[in-house]
Amino acid sequence: MASQDWVEKDFYATLGLSKDASADDIKKAYRKLSRKYHPDLNANDEAAEQKFKEVAEAHSVLSDPEERKQYDAIRAMGSGARFTAGGPGGAGGFEDVFSGLFNGGSFNGGGRGFNPGSYGGGNFGGQNINFEDLFNSAGAGAGYGTGGYGGFPGGGYGGAPAKGADRTASTTIGFGSALNGTKIGLREPSGETIEVRIPAGIKDGQKVRVKGKGQPGAGGAGDLMVTVNVRPHKVYERDGDDLRMHVPVTFAEAALGGKVQVPTPDGGHVTVRVPEGSSSGKTLRLKGRGVKTRKHTGDLLVVLDVVVPKDLSEDAKAAVEQFAEATKSDDPRATLARDAAL
C-alpha cells in the first residue's frame, strides 16, 4: 500500500475505534465486523464484500504494533505535521517524526507489502512474491536545488541528490535450485518482469540485490532487495556448507561392517564403507560432496541409523537369541550408574 493511501484511509474509523484503542479492542472489532460482512453470509453483495476487504486491511495494519506505529506517523504527517530545518546536515523535524521509519534516508521496508496474488497482480512462475512498496516515489524530488536543503539522505547545503529508496521482495525456491543457482522472474503490478539471478549455494533467508530496481530518485533509482527462502529437502539437511543425510543400515551391516550405496546431491551415487561395530549416529564424512560456493566447498555427512526389524521370522529370532547368548557377558551399561552420579 502506498503512503498516500495510508493518509487517506482512516483504519480506526473503519473498525469503529478511537486512536487509543487497545490491541484487544482491535481484535474484538475485527472479529465482529468480519463476521458481519463475510462473503459467505452476504452472497452477491458487492458492498458487503468491499466492506469485508476494508475491515481486513485495517486489521492487518493496526494489529501489527510496528505497522500501526508507522501508520500513525504517516497519518500525522498528512494531517498537518510540518518539518523544521535543523542544524547543518539535514531537516531535524523529519528525523524526529520518522526516526523509526527511515534508515539513512531509505525506507526500512517494515510496512505493508504489495502481494500481487492478493491485489490483482498474480505470481510469476508460481513464486511467492511480496513487494513492500510504501512510497510510490520515495526520494523522487526530494532535493530542492543548489543552495537549498539536499535530498534525503545527504541533506544540508549543496548535498548530492538522493537516490531512490530500496524496495524489498521475497521468493521461495527449491533446495536443488539453491545448491546449483537459478534465475527467477518477479512480476510487478505494472507487468514488468524483473530477472533475478540466484547464486549457487545461497542460504535460506539470504538476500540478493538487484541494482536500479528500487524507487526512482533525483540521484538515481534505488535497489531491489530480494529475500530468498529455500524449501527443505526430504533427505538432505544443510549445516553451513556441509550437507547431512541419514542412511538406514541393517543390524548385520552395522555389526559386521559392509558397503552401502548412498545418493549424492548431484544425482549420482557413491559407495560408503560402514565400519565394523558401528552404532546409530555414527557419522561418515565424504569430502567435497557438500554445498559448492565461490569461496568454499562443503562435505556430505552420512549419519548411520541402525534399523531394528519389527517382525522377525522364526529363524531370525533364533539367530538373535543365539547371538544374545553368545554376547551375554557384554554390558553396554556397565558404567552408566557411575557416570550418572552427581
> What pLDDT digit, counting tens, does each position of 189-244 carry?
888 899 999 999 999 999 999 999 999 988 899 999 999 999 999 999 999 999 99
Tell the residue number behind the cell numbers 521482495, with chain if given. Answer: 169
Q: Is the dihedral of CA 11, 14, 15, 18 positive or negative?
A: positive
CATH topology of domain 1-103: Helix Hairpins (1.10.287)
Range 180-187, long-range pairs (CB < 8 A, 24+ positions): 184/124, 184/125, 184/127, 185/124, 185/125, 185/127, 186/124, 186/127, 186/129, 186/131, 186/224, 186/226, 187/116, 187/121, 187/122, 187/123, 187/124, 187/129
Alpha-helical (H) ranges within 181-311 are 251-256
Does this model's pTM top 0.85? My answer is no
Q: What is the pLDDT of residue 172?
A: 93
CATH 1.10.287.110 range(s) for the chain read: 1-103
With a cut of 50, say whether residue 92 has pLDDT above it: no
Neighbouring C-beta atoms of residue 319, cutoff 10 Å: 13
With a cut of 60, say whether residue 96 has pLDDT above it: no
**What amino acid occupies position 22?**
S
CA distances from 149 to 80, 157, 161, 264 (A): 21, 5, 10, 60
- What top-level class would CATH report for the domain 237-329? mainly beta
- List beta partners, residue 187: 193
Q: What is the pLDDT of residue 159?
A: 61
Residues 6+ positions from 191 with CB-CB distance below 8 Å? none
Q: What gap in Å lies between CA 28 and CA 244, rounded to an integer?
A: 47
CATH topology of domain 122-148+160-232: HSP40/DNAj peptide-binding domain (2.60.260)
Alpha-helical (H) ranges within 89-139 are 92-98
- List beta partners, residue 285: 301
> What pLDDT digit, counting tens, does each position of 109-168 carry?
344 333 333 333 333 333 333 433 333 333 333 333 333 333 344 444 456 788 899 999
- The interaxial angle of helices 65-78 and 46-62, nearest 10 deg, is 100
- Please, what is the Cα angle at 210 between 205 and 214, to 5 degrees? 105
CATH 2.60.260.20 range(s) for the chain read: 122-148+160-232, 237-329
Instruction: Categorise residue 91: left if φ over 0, alpha if ψ from -120 to 50, beta otherwise.
Output: beta
Alpha-helical (H) ranges within the chain are 3-8, 11-14, 23-37, 46-62, 65-78, 92-98, 175-180, 251-256, 314-326, 336-340
Q: What is the pLDDT of residue 237?
A: 96
Q: What is the pLDDT of residue 78?
A: 57
CB 244 within 8 A of CB 301: yes
Q: What is the pLDDT of residue 76?
A: 75
What's the CA dihedral at 157, 103, 2, 26 to 10 degrees?
-130
